[in-house]
Chain A
Amino acid sequence: MKILVADDSGIMRKIIIRSLHSIGMTDVVEAANGREAVELFKLHGPDLVLTDWNMPEMTGLEVVQELRGLGSQIPIIMITTEAQQRQVIAAIQAGCTDYLTKPFEADFLREKLDKYITV
């Protein structure tokens, strides 16, 4: 299972990838901004996308809209500090499958990921 992780913070990508490794998911592609995420999505065809909201070049919300516009139906999880109800609704309406607010506990992230991991 290939997973695309998009976040402009390298350290946040490391935190997420460590959680992925802890549940056996090692086939991971990293994007440092939204535009790169879309390009890597087209190149690698991941099975799951984890994306931040606030990123340079293209926001996570725009990434979701772009991927859904391409016809992708894979799970997309937004991992963000944006926690207001209207933002969660906007993300779900754009096509997000799930939503996780920062800060988060590692166990909670792993539980969330478990729902979408297929062997």
Chain B
Amino acid sequence: MTSTVQESLGISKDRWVIVGPFVQCTQDVFSMMLQWDVSLEGVAEKAGFQSKHDCSGFIGLSGGMKGSIVVSVGREVAFAAAEAFTGVRPTSIDSVVKDLVGELTNMIAGSSKDRLGFAGISLSLPTVVAGNEHSIWFHTGATVEILHFSSPYGPFSVEVGIRNDL
């Protein structure tokens, strides 16, 4: 499955070494915690990023690999996920929604780091920002892979920014 997806996306094996674990772990997190099937729609490589979503969770990587992981979701995805977890649908991007996005980021980053094959990677605690089409800027020396996913409640993205000086 891995090579098929990699080939269909037209990305190199070297890029897939980084991207692959995040694809699998993102699908696992949504499948196990929410019973949602999410699909990878595409991968783009960019130096900077302008989010088209409403809420983003960040986690820093240090130790064996340095960089940042960002999970960005729109209101519909965030509200549906919060409702699935709590039984109550939020009406705004409140503390529950931010907590949810932070925890999704934590689970995706945490489970992915163990599949990357680099020893001693540490994660920071998640940070969450909200705002319509907010900007996220990675370190200028980082390669950023943007993974675009679709879900039953709309699109979301996972950005993987890894420092090039490693």
Contact = CB atoms under 8 A, between A and B. Distances in A.
A81 B102 contact: no
B85 A81 contact: no
B111 A84 contact: no
Q: How many of chain A's residues touch chain B, expressed as a range?
A: 10 to 19
Given A10-B96, A54-B125, A56-B125, A15 B107 contact: no
B100 A102 contact: no
Contacts of A102: 106-107, 110-111
Contacts of B33: 15, 103-104
A104 B28 CA distance: 9
A82 B110 contact: yes
B32 A81 contact: no
Interface in A54-92: 54, 56, 80-84
B141 to A, nearest CB: 26
B111 A83 contact: yes
- Among A9, A11, A56, max chain B CB count under 10 A is at A11
B110 to A, nearest CB: 2
B100 A11 contact: yes
A99 B32 CA distance: 17
B102 A9 contact: yes
Nearest to A82: B110
Given A9-B102, A9-B106, A11-B103, A103 B32 contact: yes
Tell me whether chain A's interface is mostly helix, strand or loop, or mixed. Answer: loop
A81 B110 contact: yes
Nearest to B28: A103
Contacts of B123: 54, 81
B23 to A, nearest CB: 15
Interface string B7-20: 00000000000000
A81 B111 contact: yes
A16 B81 CA distance: 16
Interface of A: 8-12, 14-15, 54, 56, 80-84, 101-105
The 4 closest A-B pairs by CB, nearest first: A81-B110, A103-B32, A9-B103, A103-B29
